[in-house]
Structure 1
Amino acid sequence: MTQKIAIAAFRPSHESLNQVFKRFPQLRGLVIPALILVIWESAAQLGLVAPNLLPAPSVVLSTIWELTYRGEIWQHIGITLYRVFLGFLLGAVTATVLGGLTGYSKVIYTFLDPLIQSLRNIPSLAWVPLFILWLGIQETSKITLVAVGVFFPIYLSLMSGIRDVDRKLIEVGKVYRLKNWQLITRVFLPATLPAYVVGIRSGLGLGWMFVVAAELMGASQGLGFLLVDGQSTGRPAITIASIFLFAIFGKLTDSLVVLLSSHFLSWQDSYIAKA
């Protein structure tokens, strides 16, 4: 009898939870992070992890609140967003131009692509001393380094997307006597847009990664500086708080790209996975 009452009490709450998830499917993505935080907090409170190595989430949130109360956190967030935004803009524009040219022109592809592919394999930290030598430790070198990280995924996605366009689509366009510009806008652009959006998202993600390396170059502000400062001064809560903020703002900017791109890709009749 007691078991039946417990099941009856659980069922309505379970069904209401399913209704919430159906109405707001985005909330499902919070379930696993919430479980991780609960397990992490429990392990920290029970003393299963050393606080000097992995402080509890409550300590990390307290640290973020303290930095916010002192007004420091907004300076670090603001300058990092500034560097990511300008670096992303510079890298995306350059990658779009060069990716479009190498994808559309066989001659430019044979001359330019081997060089770009070789540069793509250079690690991010390898660019740091070179940019310091050429550009100094001011904002120019930091923004340029972010732009380098953004450039390669967008270039590769766009160039590959153009070269992978179905040849039959191009032949149909020529049958309808489409000129070069009409062929680009009515055939190549729609066909390569999905791959281009994936490149934009990948480039933005690498931009957030490269900004950490960029903020090693004599920076006194930024989330990357805050992360390294916490490590060098033995304050793990500061380091983990910086990682939290990178994850949050990286996800927010990626969601913004997805939201904007969904308007341009609304024509796609894509597969939708079943619940």
Structure 2
Amino acid sequence: MIRKIMEYSSRYFSLILLVVIWQGVCSAGLISPHVLASPFAVVHTAETLVRDGTLPKNLLVSLVRAASGLSLAVIIGVVLALISGLSRMGEEVVDGPMQIFRTLPALALVPLFILWFGIGETPKILLVAFGSAFPIYLNLHKGIRGVDVRLLEMGKTLGLSHSRLVRDIILPSALPDFIVGLRFAVGISWLMLVVAEQVNAESGIGHMMMDAEDFLRTDVILVGLAVYGFLGLMSDQIVRYVERFFLIWSLDRNREIS
């Protein structure tokens, strides 16, 4: 128990030291609150926003948008990766456009999405889905194409049909790469949500931060950033739990090797 406490303390020591220095500089009046609010002010503002319901309401909206966009991204990424990874013709049709689209900056697409889908929830969800689909596609495609040839030969020797090869050999072998892509996609979904919620949004954490910018409320902005960071950390931990659950065989093998 003491050893774990020491490990966590050493891991977050630099962060704690940074917060202490930050508070000291702000308390000494070296930085204006309009430039950077102090940690105590940020905590007090967070409590106020929670009590008056502003933070929970906007947080719920942001969670729904992120979850909807990420779910759509998983569907799109998996379907396109299967088409491209399992078929040479599918790769020729799908992979080229995907490589082009993934280099497009999200901000450049905002005007088009607004023209096509209006200013409601649809463009915001689609922006999240657009950015999050590529890591899922790329990693799953790599996993499918990187299946051990010896396993495929063994399956064919055992008389497995093509569908059985895909279900019993290819997809399980590609699952670790899919999980890696999902972890990247979760992080990107929050980054895309920041962009989406700062354009014609009437609710959400990003909208709350934009309103705070008009009134020079750096404390509210920092609360929003802290929420985004916390959500990113929690969602990554969830994916890591899913990874441990579904890939327990891989983790046990890695422990044996090490």
**TM-score range with shorter-chain normalisation?**
over 0.9
Measured in 2, the distance between the counterparts of 1:207 and 1:137 equals 19
Measured in 1, the distance between the counterparts of 2:206 and 2:152 equals 46
1:273 Cα offset (Å)? 11
Matched, 1:270 2:254: yes
- Taking a change above 3 Å as real, the CA distance of residues 272 and 145 of structure 1, as seen in their structure-2 partners, is farther
Query: For structure 1, which segment, 174-183 or 59-68, has the greater mean C-alpha deviation from structure 2 after superposition?
Result: 174-183
Which residue of 128, 132, 155 maps to 1:150?
132
1:167 Cα offset (Å)? 1.7
Whichever residue aligns with residue 241 of structure 1, its letter is: V
2:183 is matched with which residue?
A: 201
Aligned counterparts, 1:223-262, within 5 A: 223-262=205-244
1:42 Cα offset (Å)? 2.3
Question: Aligned-pair RMSD on alpha carbons?
Answer: 2.0
Matched, 1:169 2:154: no
1:63 is matched with which residue?
A: 45
Deviation per CA, 1:70-115: give whole Å up to 9, x if none.
1111111000000000111111111111111101111100111101
1:29 Cα offset (Å)? 4.9
Whichever residue aligns with residue 159 of structure 2, its letter is: R
Task: Compare CA radii of gyration and give the structure with the larger one.
Answer: 1
2:5 is matched with which residue?
A: 20
Which residue of 42, 45, 62 maps to 2:24?
42
1:10 is matched with which residue?
A: none
1:229 Cα offset (Å)? 1.9
Runs of at least 5 residues in structure 2 that lack an aligned partner in the other structure: none
Runs of at least 5 residues in structure 1 that lack an aligned partner in the other structure: 1-15
Matched, 1:111 2:93: yes
How many pairs does the alignment contain? Answer: 256
Deviation per CA, 1:158-209: give whole Å up to 9, x if none.
1111112222221122122221122112211221111100100111111101
1:3 is matched with which residue?
A: none
- Taking a change above 3 Å as real, the CA distance of residues 98 and 27 of structure 1, as seen in their structure-2 partners, is farther
- Taking a change above 3 Å as real, the CA distance of residues 63 and 19 of structure 1, as seen in their structure-2 partners, is closer
Whichever residue aligns with residue 198 of structure 2, its letter is: L
1:145 Cα offset (Å)? 0.9
1:214 Cα offset (Å)? 1.1
- Taking a change above 3 Å as real, the CA distance of residues 26 and 117 of structure 1, as seen in their structure-2 partners, is farther
TM-score, normalised relative to structure 1: 0.87
Question: What percentage of residue pairs aligned between the two structures are identical?
Answer: 33
**Quick check: 1:41–1:58 contact (8 Å CA) kept in 2?**
yes
Measured in 1, the distance between the counterparts of 2:171 and 2:88 equals 18
